[in-house]
Structure formats: C-alpha cells, structure tokens
Amino acid sequence: MSEASSLVPPSLKPGDRILLLSPSGFMAPEPVVAAANVLRFLGYQVELSRHALGCAGIYSGTDDERLADLQAALDSPDVAAIWCIRGGYGAMRIIDRLDFSGFMKHPKWLIGFSDITVLHAAFQQMGVASVHALMMKHISDYGASDLDLRRAIELMQGLHSPVEAEAGLLSRCGHATGVLEGGNLSLLYALRGTPYDFNPQGKILFMEDLSEYHYHLDRMMQNLRLGGVLERLSGLVVGQFTEMKDGATPYGTDAYGIIAEAVGGYGYPVWFGFPAGHDHPNCPLLLGARVNLSVEVGRGCLNYVD
C-alpha cells in the first residue's frame, strides 16, 4: 500500500510574500533581479534574503550565511514561499543544522530543483509537500507568460491539473497510484544511508540528472537495484538526462537505455521522457502528492488524486 500524501502548505495568493534565497551555489545578480520583477508583476511581494546575491567560492555564502538565510525563511510566519535562486552544490553541507520546529508551525512552499533535491528530501521526511520546479534563470529567460511558471504557481494555488505528454520508446505501459517523490538522481544517490533517504515502498519515483558519465549513471542505478529500492516502487517517471557523457571508450548505450536495463525485471509502469529537469520545458511537480501514473503507447499522464 502507498503511504498517505503530505501536508500541503496554505494556498499561495496574490500579495503573499515570496523570499528568494540560495542555499547552494551563487548566481550573478541580473537574472535574479529580472526574475524577482517577473514575480512582482504577477502580484507577489518579493524579497531577497541577505546573502541571496553573495559569493563565497562556488557558494552564495559561507555555510553559516546560507544556513542563517534559510533558517530565517523557515521560521518566518510572514513568508508564504521560499523560491530557490539556483542549485549547484551546497545544501548537503547545512541540511543537518536546520531547525524545522518553527517551520512546522508556519508551513510554507519550497520551490526549486537540482541541488534543492536535498531540501525536498527533508520536506518529504517531515511529511510536507514541496514543488520541484524552475528557478531564477528560467524565469528571467522566459518571463511571466511561461507555461512552467504558470503551472508552478497553479500548484501552489491548489490547482492540480493533469500532466500529459509524449512517452518515449522505452516506456513501459501500465497504471499505478502512489506518493510522488524524487528529484535529481545524483542527490538521491548521495542521500542514501542518511536520515534524508526516502522510503521507496509504493512510491512513484521521479528522477532527472545533468552532465554525468554513463557509467556513473549505471553505478547509481545499480545501487538502487542492489539496495532493494527499485523493486519496491509502484512506478517510475524518468525526466531529462541532459548533457550526459561518455568516457574515452563509449559506454554502448544512452541514459535511458541504462535506466531501462536496471528496471527491466519489474512490472510497474515506467515513463521515459517526462518534460522536467535541466532543460526547457521544466514541468513542475508537486512532490509529496498522491498521483495516478498512466503510461500507454506513446503517451503518459500524471494525475493528482488528492
């Protein structure tokens, strides 16, 4: 049996306060400022955290600075949504130092992807839904009319429209129901054996990744297979695997082929080519929600059932 879906934060409303911060990598200010103005145009109060535009090596600030920004955002009763500026790397360095007691008194939305998978994993452990979705460069590049942005806001407003799109050739037909979890595969792999590892039993797992060697991808998939993760899923949604790489000797198959082989012994539906990840479009997903997954020849559908 699948677990119950998560607590959903209060619906986002025009005039609500959105705080932009980066718990991971740094970003040049121009796209952040442009994206903030897009969100203001849509009717929200938008503020930047103290170190949102900072830089400390590859990070937006020191561990203490990024921790302070995120802790203040989690604690604030006036913040309706924490929209992460970018991914990169760094969330794992501070995740175990966060205190979520204030957040649980005032739940709020978390939006982001890539390295933000670490924070999504923590939210899932607490039983709180979050949004795997676009960040500031995407908003800056595509503006207020972008479908991905509109869908992300609709999810936070409580409008859970089905997602229908093409299913790739390696997809496996079938129907399943479960709680949707996942994110960036490299981070899901890195969190294995930690308190933020997810329980795969009956889950619909979403995964995507960027710029990994094919043999690295196979190693991660074999870890999930040997650890009993893959066999306990109810379904698998495979997003974009962008700019994947061969070594000096070609691996012999692509990312989707590697994943298809790893899950070949199981009977649940698998949707290859879901339009989410490090490319455009990056279709938002409500992690922690209970969904129906339906995969037919050439077509997939993800439908929220709560």
Task: Please tell me the least confidently modeled range out of 1-5, 234-238, 293-297, 298-302.
Answer: 1-5
What is the H or E stretch that residue 207 is in? strand 204-210
Percent of the chain, pLDDT > 90?
98
- Mean pLDDT score, 181-207: 98
Sign of the alpha-carbon dihedral angle for 175, 177, 178, 181: positive
Whether pLDDT at 132 is above 60 = yes
Distance CA 22, CA 300 (A): 33
Per-residue pLDDT reduced to its tens digit, 54-88? 999 999 999 999 999 999 999 999 999 999 999 99
Q: Specify the pLDDT at position 1.
A: 32
Nearest CA among 299, 283, 281, 270 for reference residue 161: 283
Q: Which residue, among 116, 158, 163, has the nearest Cα to 276 in the 3D structure?
A: 163
Q: What is the pLDDT of residue 6?
A: 86
Interval 34-55 mean pLDDT: 98
**With 60 as the cut, is the pLDDT of residue 208 above it?**
yes
CB atoms within 10 A of CB 293: 24
Judge whether residue 209 has pLDDT over 60: yes
Domains and CATH numbers, the chain: 17-157 (3.40.50.10740), 163-304 (3.50.30.60)
Nearest-angstrom CA–CA distance, 16 and 19: 10
Please tell me the predicted confidence (pLDDT) of residue 2. Answer: 41
Q: What is the mean pLDDT of the chain?
A: 97
The model's pTM is 0.97
DSSP string, 50-96: TTTT--BTTBSS-HHHHHHHHHHHHH-TTEEEEEE---SS-GGGTGG
Please determine, for residue 3, whether its predicted confidence score (pLDDT) is greater than 80: no
Q: What is the pLDDT of residues 85-127, one digit of tens each?
A: 999 999 999 999 999 999 999 999 999 999 999 999 999 999 9
Own/partner long-range contacts of 52-59 (Cβ < 8 Å, ≥24 apart): 52/20, 52/21, 52/22, 52/85, 53/26, 53/27, 53/29, 54/26, 55/26, 56/26, 58/25, 58/26, 58/88, 58/89, 58/90, 59/24, 59/25, 59/26, 59/88, 59/89, 59/90
Rg (CA), the chain: 18
Euclidean distance between CA atoms 281 and 254, whole angstroms: 21
* Bridge partners, residue 210, by sequence: 242
